[in-house]
Structure 1
Amino acid sequence: MAWRAQLSKNLKELRVLICQTSPASAEARAFVEKNYKDLKTLNPKLPILIRESRGIEPQLWARYDFGIEKGVRLHGMNESQISKALEDLVKAGEGLKA
């Protein structure tokens, strides 16, 4: 999982949107609880924002250079699928570098 240390090289910001109580956000909440510390330790200067809002669909957003953003809906994904979606967003940032 060497890609986890590449977040700060390929992304300018990472946002996770979740509902605090909905079953649809349960896997995304579990992913944040299990992985936030590790991701932040490997990428201490990268803003990793957790945005909680009642009734919101769970989403993962990456902001790259030049204000380019890409998002992924997390509804129905398990933790390993969420991890894969994050990895794909990180790898997508490699091609967007100036």
Structure 2
Amino acid sequence: MSLAKAFSPALRELRILCCSSGLASAGTRQFVVAKYPMIKQFNPDLPILIREATGTPARVFARFERGRETHVELDGLSAAEVEARVSQLLQ
């Protein structure tokens, strides 16, 4: 699944958490800088929350209709690996 398209209408919210300075979150921060504008361009009404806090493990949460929520861990991954994990999460 490419991130360069509109996501399913069942997706209600995307939350990305990471450390603001830790090496384990570097790939996640790079992913956000590189891909956020494109994701927002194709999904302008989708709430995308990005939370950075010292010591927070990198992970992404997807909330779907009827309150179903799933997440994946992103600590220590490169930006390309983060993109692949996010794509898997949204399938």
Note the C-alpha offset of 1:18: 0.9
2:30 is the alignment partner of 1:30: yes
**Pairwise CA RMSD of aligned residues?**
1.5
Per-residue Cα deviation, 1:12-57 (whole angstroms, up to 9, x for no partner): 1000001111111111000000000000000000001101111000
Note the C-alpha offset of 1:3: 5.0
Indicate the SS of the match to 1:16. strand
Could you say if the C-alpha distance between residues 4 and 36 of structure 1 is closer, same or farther in structure 2, counting changes exceeding 3 Å? same
Which blocks of at least 5 consecutive residues in structure 1 are unaligned? Answer: 92-98
Code of the residue aligned with 1:72 in structure 2: it is V
Partner of 1:44: 44
Which structure is higher in strand share?
A: 2
What does 1:71-90 align with in structure 2 at a 5 Å threshold? 71-90=71-90
Give, in whole Å, the separation in 1 of the partners of 2:2 and 2:73. Answer: 24
Give, in whole Å, the separation in 2 of the partners of 1:3 and 1:36. Answer: 10
After TM superposition, where is structure 1 displaced by more than 3 Å over at least 4 residues in a row? 1-4
Partner of 2:5: 5
Q: What is the count of residue pairs matched by the alignment?
A: 91
Which structure is higher in helix share?
A: 1
2:17 is the alignment partner of 1:17: yes
Give, in whole Å, the separation in 2 of the partners of 1:89 and 1:4. Answer: 15
TM-score for both structures, normalised by structure 1? 0.85
Give, in whole Å, the separation in 2 of the partners of 1:23 and 1:38. Answer: 24
